Amino acid sequence: MKEQLYTIPVNEAFDKDCECPVCAMYESLEQGALEFTLGPSYMEDDIRMVTDKVGFCDRHIEKMYERGNRLGLALMMKTHADRTINEVKKLAGSAGSGKTGLFKKSTDAADPLARYLQDLEDSCFVCDRINNVFERYLDTMFYLYHSDSAFQNKLKNSKGFCNRHLKDILNRCRTKLDAKEAKDFAALVTDIYIKNMERVRDDLSWFIDKFDYRHQDDPWKDSKDAPQRMMMKQDSVFYENPQN
Ligand SMILES: [Zn+2]
Ligand SMILES: [Zn+2]
Tell me if 200 sits within 8 A of 229, measured CB to CB. Answer: yes
118, part of any domain: yes
2, part of any domain: no
244, part of any domain: no
Ligand 1 midpoint to CA 162 (Å): 4
- DSSP letter, residue 135: H
241, part of any domain: no
Burial of 136 (0-12, 13-18, 19+ CB in 10 A): middle
- DSSP letter, residue 74: H
Tell me if 61 sits within 8 A of 38, measured CB to CB. Answer: no
Ligand nearest to the CA of residue 55, numbered in listed order: 2
Burial of 19 (0-12, 13-18, 19+ CB in 10 A): buried
Tell me if 232 sits within 8 A of 164, measured CB to CB. Answer: no
List Cα–Cα distances, 148 to 25, 133, 158, in angstroms: 19, 21, 16
Ligand 1 midpoint to CA 36 (Å): 23
Ligand 2 midpoint to CA 77 (Å): 14
- Per-residue confidence (pLDDT) for residue 244, from 0 to 100: 38
Answer left, alpha or beta for residue 76, where phi above 0 means left and psi between -120 and 50 means alpha. alpha
CA distance 221 to 208: 12
Ligand 2 midpoint to CA 131 (Å): 10
Residue 56, H or E segment: none
Ligand 1 midpoint to CA 15 (Å): 15
Ligand nearest to the CA of residue 234, numbered in listed order: 1
1, part of any domain: no
Ligand nearest to the CA of residue 160, numbered in listed order: 1
14, part of any domain: yes
Q: For 146-167, b where at least 16 C-beta lie within 10 A, e where not — what string?
A: eeeeebeebbeebbbbbebbbe
239, part of any domain: no
Return residues with CB closer than 5 A to ligand 1 (ion): 20, 22-23, 162, 165
The pTM is what? 0.85
Tell me if 38 sits within 8 A of 178, measured CB to CB. Answer: no
Ligand 2 midpoint to CA 123 (Å): 7
Number of domains forming the structure of the chain: 1
Ligand nearest to the CA of residue 29, numbered in listed order: 2
Ligand 2 midpoint to CA 168 (Å): 18
Instruction: Residue 192: give the domain boundaries.
Output: 7-234
Could you please report the per-residue DSSP string of 166-186? HHHHHHHHHHHS-HHHHHHHH
Per-residue model confidence as pLDDT tens for the chain (244 residues) = 456 789 999 999 999 999 999 999 999 999 999 999 999 888 899 999 999 999 999 999 999 999 988 999 999 999 999 999 999 999 998 777 766 555 555 555 568 999 999 999 999 999 999 998 999 999 999 999 999 999 999 999 999 999 999 999 999 999 999 999 999 999 999 999 999 999 999 999 999 999 999 999 999 999 999 999 999 999 766 655 444 3
Maximum CA pair distance of the chain? 69
Ligand 2 midpoint to CA 104 (Å): 26
Q: SS in 3 state form for 16-35?
A: CCCCCHHHHHHHHHHHHHHH
125, part of any domain: yes
CA distance 233 to 182: 23
The CA-CA-CA angle for residues 6, 11, 15, to 5°, reads 155
CA distance 157 to 168: 20
